[in-house]
Amino acid sequence: MIKKLLFHNFLIVYRASQWIRRHFTHTGMLILAGLVVSAIFGLNIRQTLSYQIFTLLLGILLMSCISVLVFRGKFRFKRVLPEYGTVGQKLEYRILLENLSPKEFNNLTLLDELATDLPSFEHFLKARDIQDKRRNFFDRIVGYPRLVSLIRKTRGGLIQPGKLETISGKDKIQQRITLIPVRRGYLRFATTAIGKCDPFGLFRRFKKYNHQDSLLVLPRLYEFPPINLAGRRKYQHGGVNLASSVGDSEEFISLRDYRPGDPMRSIHWRSYAKKGAPVVREYQDEYFSRLGLVLDTFAGGYTEIVFEEAVSVAASIAVSSLQQDSLLDLMFINNQVYRFTAGRGLAGVNNMLEILACVESAREENINELETLLLQHMNDSSGFICILLAWDKKRQNMIERLRSAGIPLMVYVISMSADSDGFSNMTLPDHPEYFQVLQAGDIEHSLQETHGRNR
């Protein structure tokens, strides 16, 4: 009850703070802070002279607001976005701004805004923030910083307002905007606003324009060491193209007589006509290395942070593994089975990152289905790289079954804690280096540690 009340108050405070940040310049905020403090100390006008400061600052702020009441500019915008962004990496884009009126404008501010969906109470309760462990007890319990962080995550990034000194009448200018995405997936640009600042430089009045766009942000990438699984090349029926389940242009070897069971489509009709007996085409068998990148999507009781880190690890492995001459199957389950193949002229690393940018965690447990999927593709895969969100009994059994089937495995378990004691019953005793625990929020450090230990 109290939490719910606090949550609703937080939303009000958040909206108010956003309004203040948007409408007041830094100087304006300084004056506003002075106004609040002087109001507190000036309550009793017989005690201090703060009331004089209060009235003066109030008068100034009032005049600031009044002086920008009228803003008759007309503008047109065009946003020029890059193809992708990456979480945590600064990206720059441009906004082309056209002044449609003949009047010159000074002291303008350009504010490009991402759509901000405020979280529900349930979402807020479930949300965990990686920065929480660094916060003090009060902040952790009360949760306002967590809420702000959650909203920032949902929004996807923060765009600082850009200053435009002057734009002449009927002129066009372009403004470079910097954005650091904080989450993967699509960022939705909602509005572009142009603000006019008052002569004191305290308050801005905005004209908002609906200006929707979207930008795909790829998962955050870590520098991953090459993974050398002790696997071998496997026969791929139908060759590379069939590996991706598309097309039928196989490599031709020779013609031979029809044997019962040969598919109809293999019959070489011209030779059949010439010979009077069915003749079929024979193809070259394909052997090559084909790795399965298995992403566990059932976060369950575990937090979203772990899942996000798992996606980043999957993306990082995809980037590092696809540089090798092999195929990579990204496999995961979320309501249905997904298997995407990349490498050797098929889909590129970008396609795989796009998929990973949009993958979502599963709500229902799917470890058994995942196990079935892996066992199904065991024969045509050289090995599996499994990224697991936990190390519970079901996952242990799955890994044990795959291991006993003799397929090379590399298992990464993403964990919230750095403590690896809970993983003592690991099931890869013969190859301990193929089992790694990566700490969410500190993946790079975990990787460095493991790499150093293995060397």
Residues that bind other proteins (CB under 8 A): 26-27, 30, 33-34, 37-38, 41-42, 44-60, 62-64, 67, 87-88, 96, 106-107, 130-131, 134-136, 139, 145, 152, 157-158, 160-166, 172-178, 180-182, 197-202, 220, 441
Residue with tokens 């976005």: 81
Biggest CA–CA distance in the chain, Å, is 118
**76: which residues sit within 8 A by CB, 6+ positions away?**
97, 98, 100
**Cα 266 to chain center, whole Å?**
45
Q: How far is the CB of 363 from other proteins (least distance, A)?
A: 26
Which lies closer to other proteins via its Cβ, residue 202 or residue 328?
A: 202
**265: which residues sit within 8 A by CB, 6+ positions away?**
248
Residue with tokens 């142009």: 194
Which lies closer to other proteins via its Cβ, residue 106 or residue 454?
A: 106
Q: How far is the CB of 219 from other proteins (least distance, A)?
A: 11
Q: 14: exposed, middle or buried (C-beta count within 10 Å: 0-12, 13-18, 19+)?
A: middle
Report d(CA 356, CA 444) in Å as an integer.
19
Q: How far is the CB of 130 from other proteins (least distance, A)?
A: 7
Which lies closer to other proteins via its Cβ, residue 177 or residue 243?
A: 177
Which lies closer to other proteins via its Cβ, residue 60 or residue 390?
A: 60
In this structure, the number of other CB atoms found within 10 A of the CB of residue 218 comes to 24
Which lies closer to other proteins via its Cβ, residue 157 or residue 343?
A: 157
**226: which residues sit within 8 A by CB, 6+ positions away?**
320, 321, 324
Report d(CA 304, CA 315) in Å as an integer.
17
Cβ atoms of residues 334 and 289 within 8 Å: no
Which lies closer to other proteins via its Cβ, residue 31 or residue 414?
A: 31
Q: How far is the CB of 231 from other proteins (least distance, A)?
A: 35
Q: How far is the CB of 61 from other proteins (least distance, A)?
A: 8
Kindly write down the DSSP assignment for every residue of 5-74, as one continuous string.
HHHHHHHHHHHHHHHHHHHB-HHHHHHHHHHHHHHHHTSSTTT-SHHHHHHHHHHHHHHHHHHTS-----
Q: How far is the CB of 118 from other proteins (least distance, A)?
A: 17
Residue with tokens 């002044």: 99
Cβ atoms of residues 62 and 56 within 8 Å: no
Q: How far is the CB of 348 from other proteins (least distance, A)?
A: 25
Which lies closer to other proteins via its Cβ, residue 107 or residue 450?
A: 107
Q: 413: exposed, middle or buried (C-beta count within 10 Å: 0-12, 13-18, 19+)?
A: buried
Which lies closer to other proteins via its Cβ, residue 206 or residue 384?
A: 206
Q: How far is the CB of 47 from other proteins (least distance, A)?
A: 6
Report d(CA 168, CA 101) in Å as an integer.
9
Q: Which of 34, 9, 31, 205 is nearest to 105 (CA)?
A: 205
Q: How far is the CB of 181 from other proteins (least distance, A)?
A: 7
Q: How far is the CB of 14 from other proteins (least distance, A)?
A: 16
In this structure, the number of other CB atoms found within 10 A of the CB of residue 230 comes to 11
Q: Which of 14, 298, 206, 3 is nearest to 121 (CA)?
A: 3
In this structure, the number of other CB atoms found within 10 A of the CB of residue 288 comes to 17
Which lies closer to other proteins via its Cβ, residue 156 or residue 292?
A: 156
Which lies closer to other proteins via its Cβ, residue 52 or residue 120?
A: 52
Q: How far is the CB of 305 from other proteins (least distance, A)?
A: 12
Report d(CA 197, CA 377) in Å as an integer.
63
Which lies closer to other proteins via its Cβ, residue 131 or residue 214?
A: 131
